[in-house]
Every structure is written in structure tokens, then in C-alpha cells.
Amino acid sequence: MKKLLFSLLIAALVPARANAQLKGLLDKAKSTVESKTGTGSLSNADIGSGLKAALKEGVTKQVTKLTAEEGFYKNEAVKILLPEELQKVDKKLRQIGLSSMADEGIKVLNRAAEDAVKEATPIFVNAITSMTITDAKNILMGADNSATTYLQTSTSKPLYSKFSPVVTTSLSNVGADVVWEKIITKYNSIPLITKVNPDLTDYVTNKAMDGVFKMISVEEKNIRTNLSSRTSDILKKVFALQDKK
């Protein structure tokens, strides 16, 4: 009787163990298939499209902020102050009771930058669209500002060419040329000072570009380090690779 019970127990245990082993093999096979089909890993195309989506989103977000009224003037990170040549002008105007004129001079420079940056998005989108898979992977696994550096390298020349005439027009439209003509004339009429004649278009153009890249770098760092900024599944997957580096 004891032998019969023992035999029945063995018969019951063997299928159970076999089923457990089979389940383990099936789970392992499923995991292997998922990793090869992209569920557990990403293809180069996925990495490229995910990174491009992140850059387009970041660029659009920051450019929109900068082109809003006082987007430069009220943003201390990018606010355009006076070039060194004109800082002595500002100081002298305030000394002789013309602070409001000095303040207006700074404000109109920032207005011109806001107008110019409206031309930036298509240039950035073109650079992002033209990005190769190698570019995308290098950016993803690179430093926290790799994307910003890539955009600076690939867009600075076309941005300057596009911004400069807009700044010239904008300086006129917002009355900056008139304001600064008065400021410079007033300053140059002060006895015993060295006269100034700054190239405001070049200065504002370069400062507008600096501001755009600065804010894009802020957004890039945010996406890289803040999980809540990864607003789609593809972004979460792509930057999860970066997190593991």
C-alpha cells in the first residue's frame, strides 16, 4: 500500500515539474522575441525619430516663449543689455536725469530680438529633419548639451542671415532707430566724451541667437533629467537608453 501511494505521488509531481520547466522556457522565448522585435530595445530608426520629436518639441516650446511680448525683456536669462561700448552711454544718461530714455533704449533692443526669433523655427526644423542616425545616437549618448551644440553648428549661419534683416526692420518698426539716434546724438553732444557709433543690428542679431540657444539648452537638460518632460512613449524609451549610459 505504501509503495502504491509513493508511486502515485511521484506520478503527480513529475508533470507539475515538467510544466514549470516548460513555462520557464516559454517565458524565456517570449522575452527573446520581444527584445528582437523592439519591445525590449529600440531600433536606430526609433532612436532617430524619438530624438527628433524631442528636439522639435523643445525648440517650438522655447521659441514660442521668446517671441511673446517681452519674451526677452522680462526673461533675465536672455534679456539683452547694452554692449560694453554703450554702457558708458547708459550711465551718463542716468547721471543727467535721462533714465527713462536709457530704459527705453534697452527695451526696444529686446523687442527687435523677439521679432527676429519668429524666423527661427523653420531653420531649426530643417536642421533636425536633416539629422542622420549617427548624429542622433551621438547626441543621445553625448553630453547634456549635445543637441544644442549640434543645432548651433548646423544653424548659426542661416540664423544670422535670416535674423539680421529682420532685426534691421524691427529696429525701425519698434522705433529703436529713432530712440537710439536720439540717445547717441545726446551722448555725443556731451563735452569731453569719446563719441560712439555702435552697430546695433549686428549686436542684437548675435544676442538674439545667444538667447535662443541658451533656452534650447535649458529645455534639452530638462528632457534629459526630468522624467515628466518625456511626454510620449517613444521619448520615454529613447531617453531610458541615455539614463543607462
List, for residues 139-172, the tens digit of each pLDDT value. 888 888 899 999 999 999 999 999 999 998 988 8
Buried b (16+ CB within 10 A) or exposed e, 87-116: eebbeebeeeebeebbebbbbbbbbbbbbb
C-alpha angle 104/108/110, rounded to 5°?
120
Model pLDDT, residue 7: 45
Model pLDDT, residue 75: 95
For the chain, give the mean pLDDT.
77
DSSP letters for 58-83: HHHHHHHHHHSTTTTTT-TTT-----
For the chain, give percent helix, strand, coil, nearest 5. 80, 0, 20
Model pLDDT, residue 244: 60
Q: Per-residue pLDDT tens for 94-133?
A: 888 878 878 888 898 999 999 999 989 899 999 998 988 8
pTM over 0.75: no
